[in-house]
Copies of this chain bind each other. A is one copy, B any other.
Amino acid sequence: MWDVQSAQGRPVICCEGMANTIRASVVQAATAAYSLSDTLDKLERLTRLAKERDGAQLAVFPEAFIGGYPKMSTFGIVVGDRRPEGRDEFVRYAKAAIEIPSPAIERIEQISKDTNVFLVVGVIERDNGTLYCTVVFVDPEQGYAGKHRKLVPTAMERVIWGQGDGSTLPVLTKTFENPSAPGTTVQTKLSATICWENYMPLLRTYYYSQGTQIYCAPTVDARPAWQHTMTHIALEGRCFVLSACQFSQEKDYPPDHAVADANARDPNNVMIAGGSVIISPLGKVLAGPLLDGEGVLTAELDLDDVLRGKFDLDVTGHYARNDVFEFKLREPVGPGSR
Contacts and interface: CB of A to CB of B under 8 A. Distances in A.
Nearest to A205: B201
A278 interface: no
Nearest to A316: B336
Interface string A31-74: 00011110000000000000000000000000000000111111
Interface in A62-114: 69-75, 77-82, 86-88, 90-92, 94-96, 98-99, 101-104
A310 interface: yes
A306 B126 CA distance: 13
A325 B206 contact: yes
Interface stretch (A138-146, A150-158, A175-183): A150-158
A53 to B, nearest CB: 29
Interface in A1-48: 2-3, 5-8, 10, 13, 16, 34-37
B156 A80 contact: yes
A270 interface: no
A74 B159 CA distance: 12
A91 to B, nearest CB: 5
A321 B163 contact: yes
Contact of A205 (B156, B209, B335): B335
A233 B309 CA distance: 20
Contacts of A205: 201-202, 335
B152 A319 contact: yes
Contacts of A172: none
B228 A232 contact: yes
Interface residues of A, number: 121
A286 interface: no
A231 B151 CA distance: 23
A323 B104 CA distance: 31
A289 interface: no
Contact of A307 (B35, B91, B201): B91
B317 A327 contact: no
A185 interface: no
Contact of A231 (B13, B152, B225, B310): B225
Interface of A: 2-3, 5-8, 10, 13, 16, 34-37, 69-75, 77-82, 86-88, 90-92, 94-96, 98-99, 101-104, 126-130, 151-152, 154-163, 165-166, 169, 196, 199-206, 208-211, 220, 225, 227-229, 231-233, 235-236, 238, 258, 260, 272, 283, 304, 306-330, 332-337
